[in-house]
Structure 1
Amino acid sequence: MITLAETKPPSKIVYSCYYTRSREGEQFISEHVFSYQIAGTLTMTDGLKDYVFKEGDFRFSRRNHLVKFFKQPPENGEFKSLSIYLDQETLRKFSIEYGYKAEAHQETDAILELKPHALYKSFMDSLLPYLQENQAVNENLQAIKLKEAILIILQANPELRHILFDFSEPGKLDLESFMNKNFHFNVELKRFAYLTGRSLATFKRDFEKIFHVSPSRWLLQKRLQEAYYLIKEKGKAPSEVYLELGFEDLSHFSFAFKKMYGLAPSKV
């Protein structure tokens, strides 16, 4: 399992390429991401909706969302994708330089499929010679390419300015509803706090008022209850369930399950 919940890429332009082996994991999308699926299939879910991207597809991932992903190489081939991370600092500078701003906050899906466009393809193709030879894209060239990516997105999808230049942070959300939707994501409490519009201290205080138990204990119990249901009622294997529900490894899951239910998950 590849867990990217609390990490940021070292470069804002990331080329992903590997052979035959499928990969899965989860990720907190901290910045907007403009991506091109070169080969293979990427399946993503935000807990409400599944998104599937195949060879030739373009996508825009919105910041401040939690997603799980499954990367599958094509038969006898390589999984390849190219992603451009549009960070807030770059977008703020662009907004000032070119006079763009969001007119209103827009609620849309976490992942947006972009219609194929000649500008998108030519832009992504221009990056491949640098990345396929394992050359680092130098800082000045990277800054130019990020600006070019923003201009191209605005040319092809001008309505995305309301998302690109919306610099507001998450507002205070209904904590109970949010946690019941996202409990299966393996992220730190500070990330849950941020996404619900709270400081960590306020998050913990509000949480205990609603659930009458600490966040850590509630998350463990909730995940184990869901695991029991999936194994007993849906016939899923423990090796499938622990990944779905945010446990870091099978042994930790089995130990916690046995402690709560008095038997190993394989005996349910």
Structure 2
Amino acid sequence: MSIETTRLPIRFSCYFTRSRSGEQFVPEHTIGYVVSGKLEVNDGTEAVSFREGDLYFCRRNRLGKYTKHPGESGEFRSISIFFEQGTLRNFSMNYGYTSGGMTAGKSFQHLPAPSVLSHYMESLKVYESLLKEQGKGELLLVKQHEALLLLLQLKPEVKDILFDFSVPGKIDLEAFMVRNYHFNVDLKRFAYLTGRSLSTFKRDFEKVFHLTPSRWLLQRRLQEAHYLIKEQKKAASDIYLDLGFEDLSHFSYAFKKQYGIAPSFV
């Protein structure tokens, strides 16, 4: 069972009973705090774990796979605060914060804890009930504003990330796709993250790989699946989600069509 509150700048997430895995695109910069349980995330380059009491920062425009593990209480609980671009632009104008330029960095990183900010995030638990009441959004916006000030006090250099409003620049398409082919996102998202329009992405893709994006993604995922099943003795049910397939039946059908044999007989 999972409960998540959305649409407001502060989200309370609670997941019960068993581990939950998935993947997502991170559209906005986010502060997260693990109240109970453990969160594991992987952006395709690095795997990071956050445990009870950990505070972390997520960069926008990043891909990530996650697993939420309930703690001893049987629950995974977290609090997240999102900073939309409009909010950050207004903050930048009001307080004079500017970015020193585009910076490289981790998709998901630990923030110092315990700290004033981590204690602040812990204190937000009492506001969870407000999300069920009408007209309380303004108060949560104030709490979001406070969190942003505390984040900048705790880690001043993060301003170069928060207040960089540029769109992703055109990057090496081949390197990006080889690193991220296993993420189950649509072609528009891949195009945006590589700094291209969808039409330019498709054109550049075929120049590099000599296949359409959809065909290449399917073949690349199936190749990796074949290797994992044959050489690493992995079960199809354990790998299909990690390779970007939405369900096991679709994976099995595609695998048999490609290799002429069901995954279980490799």
Q: Same fold (TM over 0.5)?
A: yes
Q: 1:176 aligns with which of 166, 170, 174?
A: 174
Q: What TM-score comes out, normalization by structure 1 length?
A: 0.94
Deviates more, 1:121-130 or 1:95-104: 121-130
| 2:35–2:122 Cα contact (<8 Å) kept | no
How many residues align? The count is 262
Return the match for 1:88 from 78, 85, 90. Answer: 85
Alpha-carbon distance in structure 2 between the residues aligned to 1:229 and 1:132: 49
> Which of 33, 44, 47 is the equivalent residue of 1:47?
44
Question: Where does residue 147 of structure 1 map in the other structure?
Answer: 145
Alignment of 1:241-252 (within 5 A): 241-252=239-250
Alignment partner of 2:251 out of 246, 253, 260: 253
Between the aligned partners of 1:182 and 1:60, the Cα distance in structure 2 is: 21
CA distance in 2, matches of 1:265, 1:132: 48
How far 1:10 sits from its partner (Å)?
1.9
Query: For the residues of structure 1 that align with 2:6 and 2:204, how far apart are their CA atoms?
Result: 33
**The one of 183, 186, 192 aligned to 1:185:** 183
Segments of 5+ residues of structure 2 without an aligned counterpart are none
Residue 116 of structure 1 pairs with residue 116 of structure 2 = no
Q: Distance in 2 between matches of 1:133 and 1:236?
A: 46
> Does the 8 Å contact 1:62/1:111 carry over to 2?
yes
Could you say what the CA RMSD is over the residues aligned between the two structures, in angstroms? 1.6
CA pair 135-129 structure 1, distance change in 2 beyond 3 A: farther
What does the per-residue CA deviation read over 1:171-224, in whole Å, with 9 as the maximum and x for residues that have no partner? 101001100000000000000000000000000000011111110011001100
Partner Cα separation in structure 2 for residue 97 and residue 73 of structure 1:
40
DSSP-derived class of the 2:222 partner: helix
**CA distance, structure 2, for counterparts of residue 211 and residue 176 of structure 1:** 8
Distance across 1 between alignment mates of 2:174 and 2:108:
24
Counterpart of 2:175, as a letter, is S
Aligned to 2:23: 26
Q: Aligned partners of 1:18 and 1:190: how far apart in 2? A: 30
Unpaired stretches in structure 1, ≥5 consecutive residues: 3-7
In 1, Cα distance between equivalents of 2:238 and 2:35: 28
Q: Which residue of 2 aligns with 1:237?
A: 235
Which piece of structure 1 moves more, 129-138 or 102-111? 129-138
Tell me the distance in 2 between the aligned counterparts of 1:135 and 1:192. 36
CA contact (8 A) 1:20 1:75 kept: no
Are 2:8 and 2:137, in contact at CA under 8 Å, matched by a contact in 1? no
Q: Kindly state the Cα deviation for residue 125 of structure 1 after the two structures are TM-superposed.
A: 3.1
TM normalised by structure 2 equals 0.95
Corresponding residue number in structure 2 for 1:198: 196
- Identity among equivalent positions (%) equals 55
Secondary structure of 1:142's aligned partner: helix
Q: Which amino acid aligns with 1:105?
A: M
Say if 2:58 is the partner of 1:58: no
Contact 1:47–1:181 (CA under 8 A) maintained in structure 2: yes
